[in-house]
Chain A
Amino acid sequence: MAAVDVQNVRKIYKRDSQEIVVLDGLSLQVPEGEFVALMGPSGSGKTTLLNLIAGIDQPTSGKVEVAGTNVGALSEGALAKWRSRNVGFIFQFYNLIPVLTAVENVELPLLLTNLSKSQRRERALTALKVVGLADRFKHYPRQLSGGQEQRVAIARAIVADPAVLVADEPTGDLDAKSAEDILNLLQTLNGEFKKTIVMVTHDPRAASRAHIERHLEKGVLLKTVTQHDRNQAMAGV
């Protein structure tokens, strides 16, 4: 079963009287437990596609089904509720709330559940443990390095145990070492915790960590590179 099923989606933005076609009849299926990297030049529609999958934007036409739900059919309120349970979002610039500590940031999505205060804290600490930052739970974002902030952001994305993780350039603001750590962590979440991951990236090294690379240009999917293709390329076939 596909965790993400995008069917013939068009997304058109209107700027004054001009219509800008960002996605043009795009279809994409991501099976459960898959790790997909979306690549392409700026303006190709990667982030728009990611936003549609995450349910923070609606297609102009076509259907976006994620974790068995037709996202386009939900009202604003229902969509917000759905997002809180089904999608974890990882931003390029972490986007932690500066006035909250690491554990409070991770706890944020759980405020929307019926969990008690102690249950929320326990789950947030578990998520921080998964990303290797349990000992920094009381630190504020300003007291953490970029890599550590991104780990906290990943903990926040997984704390509600969503089916799908969407990551928009998760290593775009990090040094090579931190980027490596974050990619290892995403691989762990995919491999051990069976999270379906859709990641937008410009970085070929980051994309190579995914099982499948999908390349977009001008709102259309062009080519697919699988692990098998990469292995063959490396073997010189």
Chain B
Amino acid sequence: MRRGAVHWGLLALFSDGPKYGYQLRTELDTRTGGMWTLNVGQVYTTLERLHRDGLVDTVGQNDEGRTMYAMTEHGQAALAEWFATPVTGAERSRSELAMKLAIAVTTPHADVTGIVQAQRVESMRQMRDYTDLRRRADPEKEPAWMLMLDHLMFALESELRWLDHIEATVLRRRRAAGSPAPAPADRRPVAEQPPAGGKR
């Protein structure tokens, strides 16, 4: 059965021994560089499912009276399989941006190049902010955080290339169809930095 990232992430935390529920929340946060901050409800719901599916089992209580869980053999086998199975692209293609642009290019009069440019500005802003965070991160002490930031930055880089590609394709089609490029009035120069909020 397909399970989400959180399901597998929480199961993997049991690799180094028994844990109690709240502990999972803090550990997932730390080990993914703060990218998956779950609320307590999400942690316990997922833990219940792991238990129900026989992937973890209760192993008594700790000194503070908290119920401890440990990975079962079945859980270890499932985790090994998860690690060994590449992630497929099905989820990646279902982003809101992909949806927005797929719809826009087939909607009459939609301003595709405008959408692309607005996204480019936003993505570049994010790239700058992640670059800041990455420069401040300590590769020795925060390897997971660095890995997550690299992940986000590579994704943004590929998104920006994809936006360039869409724009070039749309402009090429427009030229081939003989329609004029947007009038200069639509592209007023922005004389200075926009006000807070960063909108055009």
- B is bound to A: no
Residues of B within 8 A of A (CB): none
Chain A residues engaging chain B, CB cutoff 8 angstroms: none
